[in-house]
Structures are given as C-alpha cells and as structure tokens.
C-alpha cells in the first residue's frame, strides 16, 4: 500500500492573517500518515515556506508558466517556484482551462516546465456535466492525459494526476466512489500503456471531497488521495480529510 497524498488547493482565498491561523491549525493537528501538501496563492508562498519550516507539510503553487523566463508580464516560472522551495504545482485545473482557455497542449507544456525544475506537476483532468451526460467522460479525460503523455514521454511517471469532474468542483456534488474509481481505472490503464511506473503513480480525486466522504473515496483501489478545494480552507476539515487518508 502506497502512502496517500492529500493536496489542499486554496484557490484565490486567504490573507496573511487567515493563512497564519490555518497553518497553525494544521501544524497542531498533524502529523498524518498521508503526505500532505498545501498549494497556496503566489504572494503567500514565501511566508508559507517560513511557517512550515521543519514541518512534514509540503507546499506548492496553483499554476506556472510554460516558459523558462522572459518578457511574460504577470507570469511565474517553475524555476521561481523551485527557488522558493515548492515541491508541487497544480497545472490544468478546470478553472484555468475554462477561464483562461488553457489547451491540453499548454497544460502539457506547463507540466514539462515544472518537471524541468524538479517541481512535481499535479495535472488535472476532468469532464463537464454536458460531456458526462453525452457519454464522453472517458474520451475527454483520455484526450487530456494523452497530450501530457505525448509531450513528456518517458518522464510521465514523474507526474501526479488528478481526476476532477468539473460538475463536482465546488458544487457539493461528489462523484460516487464507484464513479470515481471507474475513471481512475481508465486513467491507470492509459498510464500503464505509457510507463512501467504507472502502478506506483498517484491519481488523486478532487471535487467536493469532505470529511464525511473522504474515507470511502480513498478506499477505492485506484484512488491514491485527494485534491481538496473548499474543505482545505478550514483546518478542522482539512485535517479530518488527511486523517481519513490512512
Ligand atoms: P472543491 O474543489 O473541493 O471545492 O470541490 C476542488 C478543486 O477545485 O481542486
């Protein structure tokens, strides 16, 4: 049994004082047997790093540029994230695919840029409600993953994958453990065809994970942890989810 991975995605929430309280709450509640990560907004990375010094909680970012460096106003490179001590970066979150028109190709390029600097990309895939209802779930997630496999080739074993059905994000609707497992199995098989490391890779589930549904989701054979949004903003809820990931 591999260690589970639980990642908090703070999205565009927080303030210096709220973050300090949240991190203090997590430090008090831990450690857990799962690997725990918080992905925080860019301006708070340095302070988070300081607050987590000597702790087993890792930290990361929620996006990075596909470029190395250069005249890209407003962008943050994976080299900068590595420089700040980030171990992880979320790429291809559905909110970025939807609101910032990120393509499968761009998401793959961001994953490659992250790996080039030793930052593990957490690559998100997932179908919308309309796609699910049209029976396209498998086609969509496989297309999104295929772009990353194609670009990273033999390095694909180094990523973390997150299945986040768009209809379950922030809606209170969770995929049932069986629905999630079915998609995770499809993704695992796609990875198995691409790398010998597939069985050891982590495939996280995200979308309205809460303390009361986490254990059932994490008990599925191909669910290796969770990507947590709303519930990651409350120390009690996030630590209960980390505890559920035994
Ligand atoms: P949620 O968000 O847990 O609030 O549904 C998950 C995510 O967007 O990563």
Give residue 172's pLDDT.
Answer: 85
Q: How far is CA 120 from CA 98, 99, 159, 219, 236, in A?
A: 23, 23, 6, 24, 27
Cβ–Cβ under 8 Å, residues 203 and 184: yes
The CATH number corresponding to 5-67+74-244 among 3.40.50.1820, 3.20.20.70, 3.40.50.2000, 3.30.43.10 equals 3.20.20.70
Strands 88-91, 58-61: pairing is parallel
Catalytic residue among 102, 109, 164, 184: 164
Which DSSP helix (H) or strand (E) runs through 59?
strand 58-61
Give residue 2's pLDDT.
Answer: 82
Count Cα neighbours of 219 within 13 Å in the Cβ-side half-sphere: 9
26-44 per-position pLDDT tens digit: 999 999 999 999 999 999 9
Which DSSP helix (H) or strand (E) runs through 204?
strand 203-206
Does the Cβ of 60 fall within 6 Å of ligand 1? no
- Nearest-10 crossing angle of helices 104-116, 137-152: 40
Give residue 135's pLDDT.
Answer: 96
3-state secondary structure of 235: helix
Does pTM surpass 0.85? Answer: yes
Torsion angle, alpha carbons of 120, 69, 41, 180, to 10: -40
Would you write out the chain's pLDDT as a tens digit for each of its 246 residues?
A: 689 999 999 999 999 999 999 999 999 999 999 999 999 999 999 999 999 999 999 999 999 999 999 999 999 999 999 999 999 999 999 999 999 999 999 999 999 999 999 999 999 999 999 999 999 999 999 999 999 999 999 999 999 999 999 999 988 888 899 999 999 999 999 999 999 999 999 999 999 999 999 999 999 999 999 999 999 999 999 999 999 998
Distance, in Å, from the CA atom of 131 to the CA atom of 40, rounded to the nearest integer, reads 30
Give residue 150's pLDDT.
Answer: 98
Which residue among 61, 93, 123, 170 has the greatest number of ligand 1 atoms within 8 angstroms of its CB, and so is best to mutate? 170
Catalytic residue among 35, 93, 109, 184: 93
Q: Give the residue extent of every domain in the chain.
A: 5-67+74-244
Give residue 1's pLDDT.
Answer: 63
């Amino acid at each position: 049994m591999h260690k589970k991975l639980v990642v908090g995605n703070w999205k565009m929430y927080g303030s210096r004082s709220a973050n300090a309280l949240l991190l203090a709450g997590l430090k008090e509640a831990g450690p857990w047997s799962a690997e725990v990560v918080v992905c925080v907004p860019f301006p708070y990375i340095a302070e988070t790093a300081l607050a987590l010094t000597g702790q087993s909680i890792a930290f990361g970012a929620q996006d990075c540029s596909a470029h190395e460096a250069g005249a890209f106003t407003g962008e943050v490179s994976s080299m900068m994230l590595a420089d700040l001590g980030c171990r992880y970066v979320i790429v291809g979150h559905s909110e970025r695919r939807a609101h910032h028109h990120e393509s499968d190709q761009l998401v793959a390029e961001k994953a490659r840029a992250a790996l080039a600097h030793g930052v593990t990309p957490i690559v998100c895939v997932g179908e919308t409600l309309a796609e699910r209802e049209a029976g396209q779930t498998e086609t969509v997630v496989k297309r999104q993953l295929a772009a990353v496999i194609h670009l990273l080739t033999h390095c694909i074993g180094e990523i973390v994958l997150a299945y986040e059905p768009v209809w379950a994000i922030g809606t209170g609707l969770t995929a049932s453990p069986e629905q999630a497992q079915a998609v995770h199995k499809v993704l695992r098989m796609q990875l198995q065809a691409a790398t010998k490391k597939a069985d050891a890779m982590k495939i996280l589930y995200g979308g309205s994970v809460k303390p009361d549904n986490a254990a059932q989701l994490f008990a599925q054979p191909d669910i290796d942890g969770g990507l947590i949004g709303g519930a990651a903003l409350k120390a009690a809820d996030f630590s209960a989810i980390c505890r559920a990931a035994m």
